[in-house]
Chain A
């Protein structure tokens, strides 16, 4: 398309191009600039996401050891995964983490964001404080929590000296390891959603809350009927993002328990990492990666369909 400042289509240009050329010049220029600015991102997306994703799908159909002969297997990697009790347990663990972590994260971050309303003194300082764990390196966070959790650690010795009882072996017991990881993850991760909710709550007009109060609405009713509908887009954003990232949980169990005891805290991404980089079996790793991809796509799609019922954009 040639650059032209007329809004009329030049003769001989097909109607479709004419229509596009017919847009106001400023918009057309914006469009061109936009594509230039988008190009690096799109290139990156293609190179670093789309191509590897497709490649992984290919690899997942092979017995693909890092060294040695590759063999085409068809869907055998997938059938092996689905019949493997360990992988089923790994999927269950990941789901359990999501089911525990996502609601708790939203409740904690929304609760704290609501509590830290405009009337609280030093709320900016609190905001910074709550965001610090999100920014500090995960390894450092996990190290500190391990000192809390392990036998003879801070919790154990504290309970012993105060009450004379032993704490559970948080990281060595199959029943306690997952709750321990969820607790650590919430502490580490709630600051992000907390900021999102804080921003959304600050957008709720005080005048509407006040008029609701004059009409006799109590604090609960004000939250339910005024605040809640106005923050649903943020809630939707936060739950979708948290759900996606929590299905990909890796660092916390990897450093805190290495997926143990047994396989009680092993997650799908950890399974992919172990199969690929530790056991050098790329085909199985890619297949497991694709299983995770399909799960996340499915759940995200369901969320987008479901949002029509509860997310309110017309405020």
Chain B
């Protein structure tokens, strides 16, 4: 039987995938031969920087950040390389495993624990070059630590906050939420807004969102002493409270599985009046919506409004031959000037305190500063475990079943805890 083109293509795809797997396996042990890990001295080096890049516009914006290193240190050049968000993580995994990773690596706080082993702790370099941690938001500085060591220097940060549709609030006669609003006030507002095919809230399962809701309702955190804590009764209660938004309160719609943009499209199209989101999406959302956008802190549970912060930064791979030059480049890339430029262009909420005003000016929402300052004060970093990617995957899968009322919350949490324990 001859191979038809379609068949050949399928085989080729499969073979390619297997080969890629093998390639990783084959070079996994080495650690040597870092051809692309930079060369030169502390002040003179050609460095490569791997980062997630959304498109050509993104590439241009981030290349400007890279160029700051060359402006500050004429001997250092930083070349940007990357992939889109999803592919970035499998790419960076293979690069780090092969020991041929570029010097500078983009790292997100929630994924840090999985990759920390292949990254260089920065504490000595921070001291040597005098990087002041107090110039940065504390929660995200802590969020980019692993086992107490600083793994990356942040460029953005952000506590989870509520985005809301001011026009729908007005039409329903619900007053704008203020910092300190309670869970009861939130639910009453959401109930009033759930009418005419619209819902007051939209929520989908995901680590940051679920953990933030649980934390504000009962104070429980997903990890205790570095171990998964999902079957703890406080966590279960909080998780139940979150699931009830859809299950029993019916203030949020049922969710489809695997649709990562359902929450955003539902909110942006005006079908739901509120969603939990991070400041990193605020200006982007502002550009998409056709209504007046407001932001509010997460409602307060019995112990006040409590939320989680996440953010991203730049670290150095262990295979980098010129860590000093790489660190100086990172210092330039996270300095006031590039972060202010990024903030003014409406990108992520900057991690450097001095760059905040530029972002608030770009956001054009009067209450933004008050709300984000309040949320920051009430937030802690979501510190994750080594197998967090799996935990988040399980949370998303079973969380969908819980929200839609297919599986009881306690049972889902037990399954996640069992599975993640086995797979870590």
Contact = CB atoms under 8 A, between A and B. Distances in A.
Interface in B382-411: 387, 389-390, 393, 396-398, 400-401, 404, 406-407
B422 A151 contact: no
B171 interface: no
Nearest to A51: B22
A149 to B, nearest CB: 7
Given A276-B21, A277-B90, A265 B257 contact: yes
Interface in B221-267: 253-259, 262, 266
A282 B7 contact: no
B400 A261 contact: yes
Given A152-B253, A170-B256, A259 B397 contact: yes
A64 interface: yes
26 contacts: A51-B22, A52-B15, A52-B22, A56-B18, A59-B21, A64-B28, A66-B93, A66-B94, A151-B255, A171-B259, A172-B255, A172-B257, A248-B14, A256-B258, A258-B396, A260-B257, A260-B396, A261-B257, A261-B401, A265-B257, A266-B397, A278-B393, A280-B93, A282-B24, A284-B423, A286-B21
Interface of B: 1, 6-7, 10-12, 14-16, 18-19, 21-22, 24-26, 28-29, 89-90, 93-94, 96-97, 114-115, 117-118, 253-259, 262, 266, 271, 387, 389-390, 393, 396-398, 400-401, 404, 406-407, 419, 422-423
B118 A258 contact: no
Interface in A190-236: 192
Contacts of B1: 237
B258 A260 contact: yes
A49 interface: yes
A150 B28 CA distance: 41
Contacts of A256: 258
A241 B259 CA distance: 31
Given A52-B22, A262-B397, A279 B406 contact: no
A174 B406 contact: yes
Contact of B257 (A86, A237, A257, A280): A257
B100 to A, nearest CB: 13
Given A66-B24, A192-B6, A279-B389, A151 B18 contact: no
A276 B21 CA distance: 8
A89 B205 CA distance: 22
A275 B24 CA distance: 14
A124 interface: no
A274 B21 contact: no
Given A52-B18, A53-B18, A151 B396 contact: no
Given A66-B94, A262-B401, A262-B407, A48 B18 contact: yes
A248 B18 CA distance: 13
Q: What 8 A-B pairs have minimum CB-CB distances, sorted nearest first?
A: A258-B258, A260-B257, A171-B256, A52-B18, A48-B15, A261-B400, A257-B258, A52-B22
B401 A281 contact: no
A169 B257 CA distance: 9
B18 A49 contact: yes
A177 B257 contact: yes
Contacts of A260: 257-258, 396-397, 400-401
B400 A172 contact: yes
Given A67-B117, A278-B393, A151 B254 contact: yes
B118 A173 contact: no
Contacts of A55: 22, 25-26
Contacts of A248: 10, 14
B397 A146 contact: no
B25 A280 contact: no
Interface in A248-264: 248, 255-263
Contacts of A289: 18, 21
A289 B24 CA distance: 16
A269 B94 CA distance: 19
A169 B254 contact: yes
A146 B259 contact: yes
A84 interface: yes
B390 A151 contact: no
A171 B404 CA distance: 11
B400 A151 contact: no
A62 to B, nearest CB: 9
Given A152-B266, A248-B10, 19 more contacts: A52-B15, A56-B22, A59-B25, A67-B96, A150-B256, A151-B254, A172-B257, A172-B400, A174-B406, A256-B258, A260-B258, A261-B398, A261-B400, A263-B397, A277-B90, A277-B93, A278-B393, A280-B93, A289-B18
A98 interface: no
A262 B400 contact: yes
Contacts of B25: 55, 59, 64, 282
A94 B396 CA distance: 21
Most B C-beta atoms less than 10 A away, residue of A48, A192, A277: A277
Contact of A151 (B16, B97, B253): B253
Given A257-B257, A258-B257, A285 B397 contact: no
A6 interface: no
A68 interface: yes
A86 to B, nearest CB: 6
A239 to B, nearest CB: 13
Contacts of A56: 18, 21-22
A4 interface: no
Contact of B401 (A48, A174, A275): A174
B315 to A, nearest CB: 14
Contacts of A66: 24, 28, 93-94, 96-97
A245 interface: yes
A76 to B, nearest CB: 12
Contacts of A64: 25, 28
Contact of B423 (A47, A169, A263, A281): A281
B351 to A, nearest CB: 26
Nearest to A192: B6
A134 interface: yes
A47 B18 CA distance: 10
B255 to A, nearest CB: 5
A289 to B, nearest CB: 8
Contacts of A169: 254-256, 404
Contact of B422 (A84, A174, A278): A84
Interface in A136-189: 146, 149-152, 169-174, 177
A266 B257 CA distance: 11
Contacts of B26: 55
A67 B118 contact: yes
A278 B390 contact: yes
Nearest to B404: A172
Nearest to A266: B397
